[in-house]
Amino acid sequence: MQQSVESLVRLLETYRGRDKVIRTFCYGSQLVGGALTQKAAADASSQRLGKSLLLFSAQLSHCRTVLRLFDDLSMLAYSHSYGLGASEEDAGVRWISVLTNVADQLYYPCEHIAWAADAELIKVRSDKWWLFSTVLWGTSLLLGILRSFRVLLLLRKKLKKHRRGEGGSRCLLSKFIFFKISLTFMLSILSSMADLSNAVHWMPPGFLWAGRFPSWLVGLLGSTSSLIGLIQMNTSSSELSGSTALSSQSGGDAN
């Protein structure tokens, strides 16, 4: 119990960790609040609690939007350090990563303009800017999914090469490492697919399933993605270093 509390405290001391915790509470509140308000047989107190949780979720979402006002420079520094991905061995991973960085970089100013318009700091309509930011977010998620699948394919090829030149014990070790890294990427794919489903839901009506999700389903998908993010953040440093070392040999790791 004490170790769990210490891990949570360490998580809250970092900006990224705090954001993931806020995100988890945001979508968790939407999940419970949406379920309570949708119950036809729910009593008046449950309905009030559900509406309060949905309002709480909206405020946490707004909080995250404000905090992201300061993310442009860190994203720019990352994009600049990655450049055109000269260190990547695989051209597919390289260009998918570059396009992902471009989408992520453009996302922030679009969201800032939409936020400023809603806050009446500038006199423009926020609708189209929220749409631009959602499209860029969805594009980034889709590219991230493609990148993870590409890296998994490269890792699979690498494992086959090891099988030809290694004995029994080393081959088993390679399989175990491949399984652990594959699990990490599969969780990333699941997380991105959950977020991508919500991104489509927030598109204009008429596009695929846009606007058709009830609040509890949006909360469920977001909670799934958030919990996976927390699990990945709590992965031990030794596992992370092992994953990075092996995946970099195959052309990169998941975002």
Residue 48 lies in a domain: yes
Residue 243 has pLDDT above 50, yes or no: no
Pairwise CA distance, residues 29 & 27, whole Å: 5
Q: Which residues, 6+ apart, have CB-to-CB distance to 238 below 8 Å?
A: none
Which comes out higher in pLDDT, residue 96 or 87?
96
Residue 169 is predicted with a pLDDT of 57
Output the pLDDT for position 44: 84
In a domain, 182, yes or no: no
Over residues 74-86, the pLDDT tens digits come to 999 999 999 998 8
| Res 237: pLDDT | 34
pLDDT at 85: 87
Specify the amino acid at residue 75: M
pLDDT at 198: 98
Model confidence at 173, pLDDT cuts 50, 70, 90, reads low
pLDDT value at 144 more than 50:
yes
> Has residue 251 been placed in a domain?
no
Looking at the structure of the chain, the number of domains it has is 1
- 37 domain residue, yes or no: yes
Domain extent at residue 14? 1-69
- Check whether 167 has a pLDDT greater than 90: no
Asked whether residue 184 is assigned to any structural domain, the reply reads no
Burial environment of residue 119 by CB neighbours within 10 A (0 to 12, 13 to 18, 19 or more): exposed
Cα 174 from Cα 238, distance rounded (Å):
16
